[in-house]
């Protein structure tokens, strides 16, 4: 039986979105949302009829052309021209999973009744979502300030029979879509084009997508680090609760708790150690991983506020009888958060690569490069090179986009967030973290082979058994790339039994 998520004023959060995606729920507007949309449109129609005063974006031009009055008979043409002229995206196409999120978040933002859009337009967006007809959107083109204008224009084009969409595993034109579905192109009314284009849904969809992956990778970084801790025969004392309660950053305390739980019944962890201290990449896991967790929490709060907000312009307030042109489309809150998340995730890869380096260094009873006949075999020498190259790329990608601003629209839009660039490069950082963690687990699994018959914890033994069913222990040199790929797929498909959002 098909299940639905009803768009309403109820708070949309990561868990809800995860539930919508995992259970493939369709969308429907609640009675509250339909009422909000209809009241706002009725109010706007009345305002246009009764007032001769220019209202930005409704009966005026846009951006630097805001003082140009448009006659009532040209308002539909004005809105359609806006959509077509702003569809200037280029570069790679955006993943369909993110376009799906863009539709969801745009529908949510329009449902509050502050945008003046018509119910028919929102219902068409809902249809696109439910039928899995996703507009073709491009990565480049948004300054992340006057809304994500270019990508959202591409999202809106199919409504008027323009642009392209993914339809049943092919790309077809917006015109062909209308013919196949038996739909008529929408005639956008006053303000509708602007309501569709103004907004931060390109940035926020990327942020949601990256957050869902980042929470999983944060958990996996703790899990894989725990395998490495036993593989390198480390002390457990740095994870003692007393240490972390003396400096109780929430992420730090949480990380130490997880490590203790993952290694709870490990005989290796409980054995007497010859080494008094361990390298920072092991000893300081709670401090480093924990700081990234705290960043995740900050970004999550920012994104939660954003996706439950009205981010187009101007905004309509019926009870106060006001139409206000403001700046809620400016992406600065997201731009800073996206940059911060990229930095935090890059750090998980940084410290992971250092643990991999230690594991192949021929220390603590482990053979050099984790191979039985070093010299004849290079073993795990080069996977560490690969991890190092990826970490270096992450350092480049983690340079903040939000510190830049370029004047646009003839000086009217003189400060922009560049959050869209921060959003697209964040995805690459997150994918890189997955690769580096996969390499660490590949190395840690191999290193644990040389600890046998000593036993790690029950939980980690189960993880290793499952992992080795995909990526075996190696005894001689083989082509490594397929095993790294298999390790990445293993992490992508990992089944989480704990609440990763805790």
Question: In angstroms, how far apart are the furthest CA atoms of the chain?
Answer: 87
**pLDDT digits 0-9 by tens, 149-159:** 999 999 999 99
What are 452-479's pLDDT values in tens digits?
999 999 999 999 999 999 999 999 999 9
Average pLDDT of span 387-415: 95
**Other Cβ atoms closer than 10 A to 111:** 24
Residue 502: its pLDDT value, please?
Answer: 84
Between 256 and 147, the more confident residue is 256
- Closest by CA position to 96, among listed 173, 245, 205: 205
Nearest one of 339, 345, 474 to 417, comparing CA atoms: 339
Which letter does DSSP use for residue 168 in this model? Answer: T
Average pLDDT value for residue range 73-92: 91
Domain limits of the chain? 4-199, 206-310+322-492
Where helices occur in 311-361 by DSSP H, the ranges are: 332-359
* CATH number of the structural domain 4-199: 1.10.275.10
Percentage of the chain with pLDDT > 90?
Answer: 89
**What pTM, to 2 d.p., does this model score?**
0.96
Q: Which fold has domain 206-310+322-492?
A: Fumarase C; Chain A, domain 2 (1.20.200)
Q: What pLDDT sits at residue 62? A: 66
For residue 6, indicate whether it is catalytic: no
Q: Given this model, what pLDDT does residue 460 score? A: 98
Q: Of 56, 215, 219, 340, which residue is the catalytic one?
A: 56
Same fold, 4-199 and 206-310+322-492: no
pLDDT on residue 54:
76
Determine the pLDDT at residue 76.
Answer: 82
The answer, yes or no, to whether residue 51 has pLDDT greater than 80, is no
At residue 63 the predicted structure's pLDDT band, cuts being 50, 70 and 90, is low
pLDDT (mean) for 171-175: 98
Where residue 64 falls among pLDDT bands split at 50, 70, 90?
low
Residue 413 predicted with pLDDT over 90:
no
Q: What is the mean pLDDT of the chain?
A: 95
In this structure, what token pair is assigned to residue 266? 């490990």
For the chain, the 3-state helix, strand and coil shares in percent, each to the nearest 5, are 55, 10, 35
Better pLDDT: 373 or 28: 28
Between the alpha carbon of residue 136 and those of residues 11, 90, 181, the distances in Å are 28, 11, 18
More confident residue, 55 or 380: 380
What is the predicted pLDDT for the residue at 212?
98
Q: What is the pLDDT of residue 69?
A: 76
Q: Is the pLDDT of residue 65 over 80?
A: no
Tens digits of residue pLDDT in 436-447: 999 999 999 999
Measured at the CA of 265, the angle between CA 263 and CA 270, to 5 degrees, comes to 80
- Residues 111-131 have a mean pLDDT of 97
- Burial tier of 50 (Cβ tally within 10 Å: 0-12, 13-18, 19+): exposed
Once rounded to an integer, what is the mean pLDDT over residues 114-131? 98
Crossing angle between the packed helical segments 419-449 and 458-468, to the nearest 10 degrees: 100
- pLDDT band at 328; cut points 50, 70, 90: very high
Q: List pLDDT tens digits, range 189-203.
A: 999 999 999 999 999
């Amino acid at each position: 039986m098909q299940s639905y998520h009803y768009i309403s004023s109820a708070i949309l959060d990561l868990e809800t979105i995860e539930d919508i995606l995992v259970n493939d729920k369709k969308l429907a507007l609640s009675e509250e949302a339909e009422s909000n949309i209809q009241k706002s449109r009725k109010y706007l129609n009345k305002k246009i009829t009764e007032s001769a005063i220019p209202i930005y974006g409704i009966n005026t031009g846009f951006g630097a052309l805001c003082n140009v009055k448009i006659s009532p008979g040209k308002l539909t043409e004005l809105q359609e021209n806006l959509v077509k002229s702003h569809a200037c995206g280029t570069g790679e196409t955006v993943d369909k999973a993110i376009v799906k999120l863009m539709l969801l978040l745009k529908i949510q933002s329009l449902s509050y009744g502050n945008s003046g859009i018509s119910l028919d337009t929102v219902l068409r967006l809902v249809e696109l979502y439910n039928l899995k007809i996703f507009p073709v959107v491009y990565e480049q083109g948004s300054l992340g300030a006057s809304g994500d204008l270019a990508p959202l224009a591409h999202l809106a084009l199919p409504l008027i029979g323009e642009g392209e969409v993914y339809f049943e595993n092919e790309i077809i034109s917006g015109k062909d879509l209308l013919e196949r579905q038996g739909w008529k192109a929408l005639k956008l009314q006053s303000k509708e084009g602007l309501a569709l284009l103004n907004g931060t849904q390109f940035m926020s969809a990327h942020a949601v997508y990256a957050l869902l992956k980042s929470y999983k990778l944060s958990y996996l970084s703790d899990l894989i680090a725990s395998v490495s801790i036993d593989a390198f025969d480390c002390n457990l004392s740095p994870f003692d609760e007393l240490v972390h309660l003396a400096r109780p950053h929430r992420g730090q305390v949480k990380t130490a708790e997880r490590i203790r739980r993952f290694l709870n019944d490990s005989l290796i962890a409980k054995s007497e150690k010859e080494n008094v201290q361990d390298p920072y990449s092991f000893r300081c896991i709670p401090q480093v991983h924990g700081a990234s967790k705290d960043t995740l929490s900050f970004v999550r709060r920012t994104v939660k506020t954003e996706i439950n907000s009205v981010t187009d312009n101007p905004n309509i307030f019926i009870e106060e009888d006001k139409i206000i042109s403001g700046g809620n489309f400016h992406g600065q809150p997201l731009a800073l958060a996206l940059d911060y998340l990229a930095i935090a995730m890059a750090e998980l890869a940084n410290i992971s690569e250092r643990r991999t380096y230690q594991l192949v260094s021929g220390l603590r009873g482990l053979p050099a490069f984790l191979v039985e006949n070093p010299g004849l075999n290079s073993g795990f020498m080069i996977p560490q090179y690969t991890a190092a190259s990826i970490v270096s790329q992450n350092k480049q990608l983690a340079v903040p986009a939000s510190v830049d601003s370029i004047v646009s629209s003839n000086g009217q839009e003189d400060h922009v967030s560049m959050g869209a660039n921060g959003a697209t490069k964040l995805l690459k950082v997150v994918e890189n973290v997955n690769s580096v963690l996969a390499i660490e687990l590949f190395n840690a699994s191999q290193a644990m082979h040389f600890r046998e018959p000593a036993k790690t914890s029950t939980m980690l033994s189960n993880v290793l058994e499952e992992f080795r069913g995909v990526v075996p222990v190696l005894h001689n040199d083989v082509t490594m790339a397929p095993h790294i790929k298999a390790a990445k797929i293993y992490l992508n498909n990992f089944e989480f039994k704990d609440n990763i959002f805790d």
